[in-house]
């Protein structure tokens, strides 16, 4: 592998960013730890991290096992193979794909590439916190725009919040933690409204769960918007959260800027083999979407029957109103060996619960009725 040469200034910049990340690691780790408490029994029902309870498909599991035969080798060939498969899937060039250690690394690299002191990033509030968390590392300002009354990202207000110093605009669609979407038409108008100097990062981690026809992935729009960057993950519908693989899709110029911030050899032979097998299995996405969406819809019907408020979701999780601070309630679920989502400061009375198997969700409902009777 040929490594790029670095000037003294480039090396200094890289060292400074590495130090900033190291100094920020305890704070960022603390945020992550809120959703993965220590000392939790192995048999706990985990409904706290929007994971797929069904795990990898059989082809992926077999590929992981076979990967032990190449564990001693760097995975350059596998990187090229998965990159080429993703490029074909999205009808883009291979130079328009960047792999990451989970889509979280794509989000971090985008902050590193497009933010700096004096720059700002525009996000919805609430949304997935990683981009705002890493913005603090790079000493950039975060402008948080409250969601609308129906809990959707306020795209008009987000576009209006942009100025000459906006380096990044982050849109999670479907949004985490609200589970809501912005329609294709709304996002198209938003992309036209955002200044062209600002990179628009659209996080489509939950894309595969959406079934409404007025939603659209923005990947096909890349030729029209050179400032557009999309993040995808294998953690959700593919059930590979513990293996860590995500990717970014953009025009070549943005991908080059993104890759400059990524770790070398940031993937591994096992996850690459699992991802390739998953992409080659035509049943993975429809099967998991059917299972998880079906259980989600069943849960929502039960909540409706009991008169409980919830946010209609297009993802593998649901936000439920409890009309009180959820922090102690989270603890009461944990005492019953059930892990549920963390508290979101802007929605302190709402509890996020990931969709598990039907028996797991039945256990959740039983506990909910005991802890917070309708």
Decide if pLDDT at 35 tops 60: no
pLDDT confidence tier of residue 11, bands split at 50, 70 and 90: very low
Residue with tokens 């009180």: 324
Dist. CA 263–CA 261, nearest whole Å = 7
Q: What six digits make up the tokens of 198?
A: 């600002």
From 198, 251, 200, 202, select the one nearest 222 (Cα to Cα). Answer: 251
Mean pLDDT of 295-305: 98
Single pTM value for the model: 0.89
Mean pLDDT of 224-228: 98
Percent of the chain residues topping a pLDDT of 70: 90
Dist. CA 229–CA 272, nearest whole Å = 22
The three-state secondary structure class of 95 is: helix
- The residue that leads in pLDDT, 318 or 42, is 318
Task: Give residue 37's pLDDT.
Answer: 56
pLDDT confidence tier of residue 62, bands split at 50, 70 and 90: very high
Would you list the domain boundaries of the chain? 43-52+284-371, 58-280
Q: Taking the domain 43-52+284-371, which CATH number applies?
A: 3.90.1150.10
pLDDT confidence tier of residue 177, bands split at 50, 70 and 90: very high
The three-state secondary structure class of 68 is: helix
CB 202 within 8 A of CB 186: no
Mean pLDDT of 113-137: 97
The three-state secondary structure class of 138 is: coil
Q: Taking the domain 58-280, which CATH number applies?
A: 3.40.640.10
Residue 48 φ then ψ, to 5°: -115, -15
Residue with tokens 């291979």: 94
Decide if pLDDT at 40 tops 80: no
DSSP letters for 197-253 = TSEEEEE-TTGGG---TT---SGGGTTT-TTEEEEEESSSTT--TTT--EEEEE-HH
pLDDT confidence tier of residue 39, bands split at 50, 70 and 90: low
Decide if pLDDT at 1 tops 80: no
Task: Give residue 42's pLDDT.
Answer: 81
Decide if pLDDT at 7 tops 50: no
Task: Give residue 41's pLDDT.
Answer: 80
pLDDT confidence tier of residue 287, bands split at 50, 70 and 90: very high
pLDDT confidence tier of residue 38, bands split at 50, 70 and 90: low
């Amino acid at each position: 592998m040929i490594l790029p040469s670095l000037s003294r200034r480039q090396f200094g910049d890289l060292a400074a960013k590495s130090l900033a990340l190291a100094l920020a690691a305890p704070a960022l780790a603390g945020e992550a730890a809120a959703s993965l408490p220590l000392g939790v029994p192995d048999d706990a029902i985990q409904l706290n991290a929007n994971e797929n309870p069904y795990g990898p498909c059989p082809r992926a599991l077999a590929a992981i096992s076979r990967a032990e035969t190449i564990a001693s080798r760097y995975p350059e060939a596998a990187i090229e193979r998965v990159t080429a498969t993703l490029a074909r899937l999205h009808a883009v060039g291979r130079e328009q794909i960047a792999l990451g250690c989970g889509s979280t690394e794509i989000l971090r690299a985008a902050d590193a590439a497009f933010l700096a002191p004096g720059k700002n990033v525009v996000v919805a509030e609430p949304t997935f916190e990683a981009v705002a968390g890493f913005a603090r590392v790079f000493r950039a300002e975060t402008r948080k725009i409250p969601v609308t009354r129906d809990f959707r990202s306020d795209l008009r207000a987000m576009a209006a919040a942009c100025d000459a110093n906006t380096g990044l605009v982050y849109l999670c669609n479907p949004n985490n933690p609200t589970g809501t979407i912005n329609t294709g038409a709304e996002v198209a108008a938003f992309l036209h409204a955002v200044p062209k100097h600002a990179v628009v990062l659209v996080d489509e981690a939950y894309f595969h769960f959406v079934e409404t026809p007025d939603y659209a992935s923005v990947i096909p729009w890349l030729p029209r918007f050179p400032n557009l960057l999309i993040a995808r993950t294998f953690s959700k519908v593919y059930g590979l959260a513990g293996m860590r693989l995500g990717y970014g899709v953009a025009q070549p110029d943005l991908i080059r800027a993104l890759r400059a911030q990524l770790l070398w050899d940031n993937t591994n032979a096992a996850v690459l083999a699992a991802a390739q097998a998953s992409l080659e299995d035509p049943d993975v996405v429809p099967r998991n979407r059917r299972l998880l969406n079906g259980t989600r819809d069943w849960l929502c019907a039960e909540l409706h029957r009991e008169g409980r408020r919830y946010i209609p979701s297009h993802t593998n999780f649901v936000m439920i109103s409890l009309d009180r601070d959820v922090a102690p309630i989270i603890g009461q679920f944990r005492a019953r060996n059930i892990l549920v989502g963390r508290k979101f400061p802007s929605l302190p009375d709402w509890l996020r619960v990931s969709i598990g198997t039907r028996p797991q969700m039945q256990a959740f409902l039983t506990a909910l009725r005991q802890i917070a009777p309708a």
